């Protein structure tokens, strides 16, 4: 093999760039420090320094990398962490008891842990080290037997997971990671189903497991598609792709009326406008589902109120369909002008999580509304019209 081929082969191992800003890298490192410190501190407070097991087992360090540095990974989700560690610990303890040769036991334990994690859909790479720890952790670990599964593995896993969930919530990150794919219209549902079917077909043809959630892949593909369209059709404005006319409600409309309009027109959001078409809010199905409730007295509460001194009413919570939309709507609404280039819509949909963006005319009155489906469908139609004219 020539030196050029050797150099080219070695160059193929060059790591790709990490597209993560430095503040996020610092946040991840700080999270791992806090998570492990909290776990060890609570372990010592509960069990004491004289416990027969370590306050932190080595695999927790690897779990911290996943939970705090790559929390969007399917391998870092709660079921992967808890299920993977429990399965691997159980397999490791069993192998340590069944096979006298520790190295044979370790190899079988790692293989069995992988098989178990695949079966229960809880793949978590650090769990392989949990299985090895159960076999090679020394006399103290082996003496614990199946207690090792609960103490320290389960306890430390739960403490580290709780620390990660609290830390990500405080620092404004989603964890557990649930992909957010917007679906705002019938056309959007068709686009989602066809894209998801194509994506699943491609994944089935691969012979390796990708460390990316299919939902996240679908989201990335949709965002990339929007970005590419926006770059190629920068001359388009919101006026060209918005949905118009817009179904809207006044602030004094009832929740029942809003719910009826959403179901009648198969949409997921209604702009709330004044008599002169000024947007003052937006109401979604989520707003209605989590809205105000009233207490409906039960027979027991009525009997108690009648024969005893008045006391707080016991009852069954039921939705208040007479509640006004003004009490349920979201008031911080991001709007755009009819002349806004569609390039500016991409970060709103892709990064900021907007699902419905009202469009205003020159007088700041509601002129239309745009969803992801409108953006993609409008650009697709423009593409087809270009191809038609070119032919």
Angle between helices 372-390 and 214-232 (to 10 degrees): 50
Rounded distance, CA 77 to CA 183, Å? 24
- Listed in sequence order, the DSSP H helices in the chain are 3-11, 22-47, 59-64, 78-98, 102-120, 126-136, 139-144, 147-148, 155-170, 186-205, 214-232, 238-241, 255-265, 285-289, 299-307, 325-328, 345-350, 372-390
**DSSP 8-class letter at 68:** I
Burial class (CB in 10 A: 0-12, 13-18, 19+), 14: exposed
Nearest C-alpha neighbor of 17 from the set 5, 25, 9: 25
Q: What confidence tier does 380 reach under pLDDT thresholds 50, 70, 90?
A: confident
Strands 269-273 and 279-284, sheet pairing? antiparallel
List, in order, residues 6 or more apart from 144 with CB less than 8 Å away.
52, 53, 151
Sign of CA pseudo-dihedral 127, 131, 132, 137: positive
CA gap 250, 272 in Å, rounded: 5
Q: Is the pLDDT of residue 188 over 60?
A: no
Is the predicted pLDDT of residue 260 greater than 80, yes or no? yes
pLDDT higher at 277 or 8 = 277
Residue 318: per-residue pLDDT = 41
DSSP state of 233: T
Which long-range contacts (C-beta less than 8 Å, at least 24 apart) are formed by 193-199?
195/221, 195/222
Q: For the chain, what percent of residues have pLDDT higher than 70?
A: 80
User: What is the rounded average pLDDT for all residues in the chain?
Assistant: 82
* pLDDT value at residue 199: 77
Q: Left (φ > 0), alpha (ψ -120 to 50) or beta: where does 364 sit?
A: left
Mean pLDDT of 161-177: 92
Taken in order of first residue, the domains within the chain and their CATH numbers are 18-170 (no CATH), 239-390 (3.10.580.10)
270 touches 256 (CB < 8 A): no
pLDDT of res. 16: 75
- Count of Cβ atoms closer than 10 Å to residue 277 Cβ: 16
Condensed to tens digits (0 to 9), the pLDDT of residues 196-248 reads 777 778 777 877 777 777 777 777 777 777 667 666 666 678 888 898 889 99
């Amino acid at each position: 093999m020539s030196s050029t081929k050797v150099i080219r082969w070695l160059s193929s191992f060059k790591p790709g760039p990490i597209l993560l800003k430095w503040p996020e890298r610092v946040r991840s490192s700080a999270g791992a420090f806090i998570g492990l410190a909290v776990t060890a501190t609570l372990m010592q407070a509960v069990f004491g320094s004289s416990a027969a097991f370590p306050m932190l087992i080595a695999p927790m360090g690897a779990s911290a990398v996943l939970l705090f540095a790559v929390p969007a990974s399917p391998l870092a989700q709660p079921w992967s962490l808890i299920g993977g560690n429990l399965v691997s610990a159980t397999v490791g303890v069993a192998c340590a008891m069944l096979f006298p040769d520790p190295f044979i036991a370790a190899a079988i334990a790692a293989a069995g842990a992988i098989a178990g994690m695949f079966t229960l859909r809880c793949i978590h790479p650090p769990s392989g080290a949990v299985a090895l720890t159960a076999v090679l952790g020394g006399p103290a670990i082996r003496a614990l037997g199946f207690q090792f599964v609960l103490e320290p593995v389960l306890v430390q896993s739960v403490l580290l997971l709780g620390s990660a969930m609290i830390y990500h919530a405080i620092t404004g990150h989603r964890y557990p990671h649930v992909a957010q794919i917007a679906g705002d219209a019938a056309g959007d549902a068709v686009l989602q189903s066809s894209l998801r079917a194509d994506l699943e077909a491609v994944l089935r043809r691969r012979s390796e497991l990708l460390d990316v959630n299919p939902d996240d892949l679908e989201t990335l593909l949709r965002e990339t598609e929007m970005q590419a369209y926006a770059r190629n059709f920068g001359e388009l404005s919101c006026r060209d792709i918005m949905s118009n006319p817009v179904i809207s409600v006044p602030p004094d409309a009832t929740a029942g009326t809003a719910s009826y309009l959403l179901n009648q027109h198969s949409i997921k959001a209604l702009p709330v406008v004044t008599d002169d078409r000024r947007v003052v809010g937006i109401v979604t199905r989520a707003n209605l589902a989590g809205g105000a409730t009233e207490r409906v007295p039960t027979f027991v509460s009525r009997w108690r109120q009648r024969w005893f001194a008045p006391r707080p009413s016991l009852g069954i919570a039921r939705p208040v369909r007479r509640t006004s939309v003004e009490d349920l709507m979201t008031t911080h609404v991001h709007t755009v002008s009819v002349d806004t280039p569609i390039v500016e819509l991409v970060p709103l949909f892709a990064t900021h999580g907007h699902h419905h963006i009202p469009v205003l005319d020159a007088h700041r009155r509601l002129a239309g509304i745009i969803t992801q489906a409108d953006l993609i469908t409008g650009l697709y139609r423009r593409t087809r019209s270009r191809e038609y004219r070119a032919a």
